[in-house]
């Protein structure tokens, strides 16, 4: 009796895909400083500003970074499909978060939005870092607070300051979202299977009170306004490159 044995060359659909990954999670590290990279920022500690000659003691420092984009060395940009991150300074002056699934490649520039884009602002309260329980949502105006800085100062009225910087409408010049671009040309940022990539930034919060911005003159902002617009401009200058890994 003749027995025929048939062999199939087709791939078993249950076999795992052994292809190498083409993306990797990267870490964003933010080192908060005050008046220079060598001076650590800290909550509940008196911090002197040498330009304004005023003293600040922060109890709250929170802000949003979103819409991360990376430019490849060929000049094309890759945009992260979902990157909304709440940065809240606590006991440490270093804050970190992860951007998942960044494509392999070498990048010579990064840009991100300080704040939350208009599409998310008009979508109402959401979850995760965008949840109202984080204390960064104006329920009365259905919009996000981009930057929240609170504390005390002997130069401020009633010895307190409270800056809730928000607003995303351009029509009345109150848009407080800001794009920040940082060049990586001198130290290209590589994402590959052979490294654990980390992008490290300095955030010099003292810059928010440079250029004659005095807490003795304005110690409270709780709505979209020209002054909020001005403080958003100054806050944007706080971000500088520390290095890459």
Structure-token match 């009633």, residue found: 158
| 79-98 pLDDT tens trace | 998 899 999 999 899 999 99
Beta bridge partners of 105: 191
Give residue 1's pLDDT. 45
Q: What is the mean pLDDT of the chain?
A: 90
DSSP-derived secondary structure for the chain:
---------SPPTTS---PPP-EEEEEEEEEEESSSTTSB--TTSEEEETTTTEEEEEEEEEEEEEEEEEEETTS-EEE-SS-EEEEE--SSSEEEEEEEEEESEEEEEEEEEES--HHHHTT-S-SGGG-GGGS-EETTTTEEEEEEEEEE-TTSGGGEEEEEEE---TTTT----EEEEEE-SSS-EEE-TT---EEEEEEEGGGGG-TT--TTT--EE-S--HHHHHHHHHHHTTEEEEEE-
Task: Output the CA–CA distances (angstroms, integers) from residue 214 to 13, 31, 48, 139, 227, in the order listed.
Answer: 67, 24, 13, 29, 12
Cβ 203 vs Cβ 32: under 8 Å: yes
Q: For position 173, what pLDDT does the model report?
A: 64
| Statement: residue 6 has pLDDT above 80 | no
Q: Report pLDDT digits (tens) over 116-154.
A: 998 898 887 689 999 999 999 987 766 899 999 999 999
Q: Is the pLDDT of residue 15 over 60?
A: no
Residue 9 reports pLDDT greater than 90? no
Digit-coded pLDDT (tens) for 165-214: 998 877 666 789 999 999 999 999 999 988 999 999 999 999 999 887 89
Instruction: State pLDDT tens for residues 35-87.
Output: 999 999 999 999 999 999 999 999 999 999 999 999 999 999 999 988 999 99
Provide the whole-model pTM. Answer: 0.89
């Amino acid at each position: 009796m003749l027995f025929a044995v048939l062999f199939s060359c087709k791939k078993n659909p249950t076999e795992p895909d052994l292809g190498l990954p083409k993306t990797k999670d990267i870490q964003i590290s933010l080192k908060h400083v005050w008046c220079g990279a060598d001076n650590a920022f800290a909550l509940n500690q008196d911090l002197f500003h040498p330009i304004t000659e005023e003293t600040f003691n922060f109890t709250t420092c929170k802000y949003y970074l979103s819409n991360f984009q990376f430019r490849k060395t060929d000049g094309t940009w890759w945009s992260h499909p979902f990157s909304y991150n709440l940065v809240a300074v606590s006991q440490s002056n270093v804050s970190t978060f992860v951007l998942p699934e960044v494509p392999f490649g070498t990048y010579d520039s990064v840009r991100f939005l300080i704040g939350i884009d208009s599409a998310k602002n008009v979508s109402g309260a959401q979850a995760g870092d965008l949840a109202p329980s984080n204390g960064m949502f104006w329920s009365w105006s259905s919009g996000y607070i981009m930057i929240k800085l609170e504390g005390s100062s002997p130069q401020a009225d009633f010895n307190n300051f409270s800056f809730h910087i928000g607003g995303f409408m351009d029509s009345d010049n109150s848009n407080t979202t800001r794009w920040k671009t940082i060049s990586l040309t001198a130290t290209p940022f590589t994402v590959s299977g052979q490294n654990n990539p980390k992008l490290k930034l300095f955030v010099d919060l003292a810059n928010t009170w440079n250029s004659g911005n005095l807490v003795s003159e304005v110690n409270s902002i709780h709505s979209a306004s020209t002054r909020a617009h001005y403080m958003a401009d100054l806050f944007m200058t706080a971000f500088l490159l520390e290095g890459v890994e």
